[in-house]
Amino acid sequence: MSHSQRNPGGPSKRKKITVNYMARVEGEGGLDIRFRNGKVEDVKLNIFEPPRFYEAFLRGRSYTEPPDITARICGICPIAYQMSSTHAIESIVGIKPTDTLRELRRLIYCGEWIESHVLHVYMLHAPDFLGYQDAIRMSKDHPDLVKKGLRLKKIGNEIVNTIGGREIHPINVRIGGFYKLPTKKELIPLQNHLEEALELAKEMVTVTAGLEFPEFEQDYEYVCLRHPYEYPLNQGRIVSNKGIDIDVSEFLDHFQEEQVKHSTSLHARIKERGAYHVGPLARYSLNFDRLSPLAQEAAQQAGLGETCYNPFKSIIIRSVETLWAVEEALRIIDNYSKPEKDYIEHSPRAGTGHGCTEAPRGILYHRYKTDEEGLITDAIITPPTSQNQKMIEDDLWHFAEKYTELPDEDLKWKCEQAVRNYDPCISCSCHFLKVTVDRDGKVSKV
Amino acid sequence: MKARRKPKLAVWKFASCDGCQLTLLDCEDELLAVADVVEIANFPEASREVARGPYDLSLVEGSITTPHDAERIRTIRKQSKFLVSIGACATAGGIQALRNFRNVREFLSIVYARPDYIDTLPHSTPIADHVFVDFELRGCPISKVQLVELISAFLGNRKPNISSHSVCVECKLRGNTCVMIANKVPCLGPVTHAGCDALCPSYNRGCFGCFGPKETPNTSSLSHQWSNGLSASDRDIVHAYRTFNAYAEAFKKEATTHEP
């Protein structure tokens, strides 16, 4: 896509919008948008989150360590890191989780989806739509909304806590299974709370569907997992709406990461085409048929079609996915009976393993190489926010241009909201926000 | 009588995963009550609103890894009446301190095609290496209970009631069977600071040191037990001490002793 349009003729007028430190996102980043004669001239999503070098210090560590070590990349979605790394390593040591272990992994992942989606919908994104600086201030006028959000979020966290031991950096996931499987009795209290969550999630879909959305659609290339019969979490092929349909192990043949000067997070792109979009919109639009009848019905009542190309409506889709995750969690608990063995035994092996799972923000790819002793010789980790960075810049390019007449302060807020559509996790992407408005050379910062 | 001003709370982030400040948002039952009694003056992860300092209580997450951050923490200290570092990154340098034992240039070139674009320090260091810290909350991540206790203590103008004993004591309090004795599982519990309520041993796994060294830890005795009683290799011992609290003095020293 060409971003080099210029207004021909006339005196050139410049303006720049800067957000120095973007709020209500996870991690440190900012935004620079330069305007010339009312046209967007440049968009940079600046990421200054300090690099933490995970891929480097994983070298020489044991093959059993990535679930605990890579969880520390992100405090909001540690389960995603534990799942992608576990699947990658298990493909090296040659083990396949049993059906029950597989279901239990889905259950803890559902917990993380609920906790992460509700945090973003009610605490981070809804205040933009309703015009508040934050959820605390929003709670003064909408106490019921915020309290229900906190309650639903807590129920998601309870799932993670019950199976994983704690909400942030849970300790129970290991290669081959779990350190200690929960008993059916331990999962029963979750059932009552999840029944309550089901009503809260239905309400969340209705509330978010009632928000006002800017008319804005993009011709995205959506990339996500697709599974023969499930809404995707841990397994499936990597697919897109523009022709990609590959095994997880072929990821690096089709996608590449490149470094840009304004970001400590690498930018991922499709080799042949460039920017692509991962996350709830992609999953929903390519897997509508895999949602439960209840989630499909809720989406339709919310006015959504089977696909959605308006990134602002991601807030409704996160709510639909939350509803789905609550139902799925109930189903898994209902069918659960504790197996005899907590995990499958394994021993080190030399090889290369790939893992790709659906983090709340989109696909998270891990690749490891190990030697005969089981020591890691090479690691590659591609988080969802690295993959969405180019798309976020692209969205802003088109979105900001529609609102150039707005006062700087309002324009900034709108652009921030557009970035938050992606629920960016900057800490993840570096293993990333501040906005600058530059209008015809006049720079204002917030 | 004039109403008392609400104390101003600020939350700051350096190199980290966001998990420790998320702990505050994870206090679903306490968050709105806390917001009633303090003014959330600076908490970018939760709010666009930024009130100017000075701040009465600053919670600092993350470690110092860039020249810019080394400057920023000094400015924050000047604006803060009480400064509390929260979590293993802020109190010990975090997992990113694994660079401290290697050449950071080599690390840069493994991750980045253009290392020259990246401004980073050779070491990841805790907040207390740069400025005076009033209190430290340990853990990777911190404990929700300890965070609420810290904020309550601050509001009540008292010292936080946070134990400095080992994870072993927490196991005894929970009535856990010792995983090291009963299951021959290597465990860092005897030398690790309390705070997790003996989480890992309660899940049949050995403690892996999220809360860092306890006061006066006998690490050499524990290593001896690991290598003689549990046939752990020197490499196992180095890896065990070199995770989230690798740069904490006691763990740093013990790991170095076992380096090949």
Report which of residues B168 and A35 the model is more confident about.
Answer: B168
Q: What is the pLDDT of residues A287-322, one digit of tens each?
A: 999 999 999 999 999 999 999 999 999 999 999 999
- Using pLDDT thresholds of 50, 70 and 90, give the confidence band for residue A427: low
Is residue A349 within 8 Å of A94, Cβ to Cβ? Answer: yes
**A277, β-bridge pairs:** A222
A263 lies in some domain = no
Place of tokens 């049993």: A98
A104 lies in some domain = no
Find the CB nearest B17 among A21, A72, A342. Answer: A72
Residue of A nearest to B117 (CA): A261
pLDDT surpasses 60 at A436: no
Residues near A317 by beta carbon (within 8 Å), at least 6 away in sequence: A280, A281, A284, A299, A304, A308
ipTM: 0.95
pLDDT at A53: 86
A428 known member of a binding site: yes
pLDDT at A434: 41
* Distance to chain A for B19, nearest Cα, Å: 4
Q: What is the pLDDT of residues A351-405, one digit of tens each?
A: 999 999 999 999 999 999 999 999 999 999 999 988 998 999 999 999 998 888 8
CA angle A224, A225, A228 (to 5 degrees): 140
Would you give the distance in Å from CA A319 to the centre of its chain?
Answer: 14
Give the helix/strand (H/E) hosting A258. strand A255-258
pLDDT surpasses 90 at A212: yes
Give the mean pLDDT of B148-177.
Answer: 96
Torsion of CA B114, B120, B122, B125, to 10 degrees: -150
Is residue A46 within 8 Å of A31, Cβ to Cβ? Answer: yes
Q: What is the pLDDT of residues B20-68, one digit of tens each?
A: 999 999 999 999 999 999 999 999 889 988 999 999 999 999 999 999 9
Q: From CA A246, how far away is CA B227, in angstroms rounded? A: 46
Within an 8 Å CB–CB cutoff, is residue A403 touching chain B?
A: no
In single-letter form, the type of residue at position A277 comes to H
Contact criterion met (CB < 8 Å) for B196 and A157:
no
pLDDT at A429: 61
In single-letter form, the type of residue at position B109 comes to S
Is residue A299 within 8 Å of A319, Cβ to Cβ? Answer: no
> What phi and psi, each to the nearest 5 degrees, are found at residue B45?
-65, -25
- Using pLDDT thresholds of 50, 70 and 90, give the confidence band for residue A446: very low
- Using pLDDT thresholds of 50, 70 and 90, give the confidence band for residue B119: confident
Within an 8 Å CB–CB cutoff, is residue A241 touching chain B?
A: no
Domain range for A15 is 1-51+405-446
A110 known member of a binding site: no
Q: Mean of the per-residue pLDDT values for chain A?
A: 91
Share above pLDDT 70 across residues of chain A, in percent, rounded to a whole number: 93
Q: From residue B30, how far is each of A169, A341, B189 by CA, in Å?
A: 21, 38, 30
A426 lies in some domain = yes
Two structure tokens written together for B231:
């046939």
**Of A52, A154, A446, which to mutate for an interface test with B (greatest number of B Cβ within 10 Å)?**
A52
Is residue A30 within 8 Å of A21, Cβ to Cβ? Answer: yes
Q: What is the pLDDT of residues B67-109, one digit of tens each?
A: 999 999 999 999 999 999 999 999 999 999 999 998 877 777 7
Region at B70 (left for phi over 0; alpha for psi -120 to 50; beta for the rest): alpha
Give the mean pLDDT of A331-354.
Answer: 97
Q: From CA B183, how far away is CA A405, in angstroms rounded? A: 69
Region at A177 (left for phi over 0; alpha for psi -120 to 50; beta for the rest): left
Two structure tokens written together for A421:
């559509």
* Distance to chain B for A175, nearest Cα, Å: 13
Q: From CA A79, how far away is CA A112, in angstroms rounded? A: 7
Contact criterion met (CB < 8 Å) for B210 and A169:
yes
Is residue B100 within 8 Å of B94, Cβ to Cβ? Answer: no
Q: How many CA atoms lie within 13 A of A422 on its CB side?
A: 31
Q: What is the pLDDT of residues A242-285, one digit of tens each?
A: 999 999 999 999 998 887 777 777 788 999 899 999 999 999 99
Residues in chain B, overall count = 260
pLDDT at A268: 84
Number of domains in chain A: 1
A430 known member of a binding site: no
Within an 8 Å CB–CB cutoff, is residue B243 touching chain A?
A: yes
In chain B, which residues have their Cβ closer than 8 Å to the Cβ of A139? 32, 35
A224 known member of a binding site: no
Q: From CA B103, how far away is CA B101, in angstroms rounded? A: 7
> What phi and psi, each to the nearest 5 degrees, are found at residue B230?
-125, 10
Place of tokens 């951050």: B69
Within an 8 Å CB–CB cutoff, is residue A171 touching chain B?
A: yes
Residue of B nearest to A154 (CA): B28
What is residue B58's DSSP assignment? Answer: E
Contact criterion met (CB < 8 Å) for A153 and B28:
yes
Within an 8 Å CB–CB cutoff, is residue A62 touching chain B?
A: yes
* Distance to chain A for B217, nearest Cα, Å: 23
Q: From CA A153, how far away is CA A148, in angstroms rounded? A: 9
Is residue A201 within 8 Å of A319, Cβ to Cβ? Answer: yes
Place of tokens 């924050």: B76
| Nearest to B152, CA basis, from B29, B6, B37, B20 | B37
pLDDT at B75: 97
A42 lies in some domain = yes
A366 lies in some domain = no
In chain B, which residues have their Cβ closer than 8 Å to the Cβ of A73? 17
- Using pLDDT thresholds of 50, 70 and 90, give the confidence band for residue A44: confident
A74 known member of a binding site: yes
Two structure tokens written together for B21:
């400040």
Find the CB nearest B95 among A69, A127, A179. Answer: A69
In single-letter form, the type of residue at position A273 comes to R
- Concatenated DSSP letters for A115-132? HHHHIIIIIIIHHHHHT-
Q: From residue B51, how far is each of A127, A319, B10, B54 by CA, in Å?
A: 18, 32, 9, 9
What is residue B110's DSSP assignment? Answer: H
A326 lies in some domain = no
In chain B, where the domains are located = 8-155, 167-257
Within an 8 Å CB–CB cutoff, is residue B166 touching chain A?
A: no
- Using pLDDT thresholds of 50, 70 and 90, give the confidence band for residue B202: very high
Q: Which of residues 184-213 of B touch A (CB under 8 A)?
A: 196, 199-200, 202-205, 208, 210
For the beta carbon of residue B236, count every other beta carbon within 10 angstroms.
16
Within an 8 Å CB–CB cutoff, is residue A203 touching chain B?
A: no
For the beta carbon of residue A47, count every other beta carbon within 10 angstroms.
27
Two structure tokens written together for B220:
């050499």
CATH class held by domain B8-155: alpha beta
A382 lies in some domain = no
Give the mean pLDDT of A189-209.
Answer: 98
- Using pLDDT thresholds of 50, 70 and 90, give the confidence band for residue A1: very low
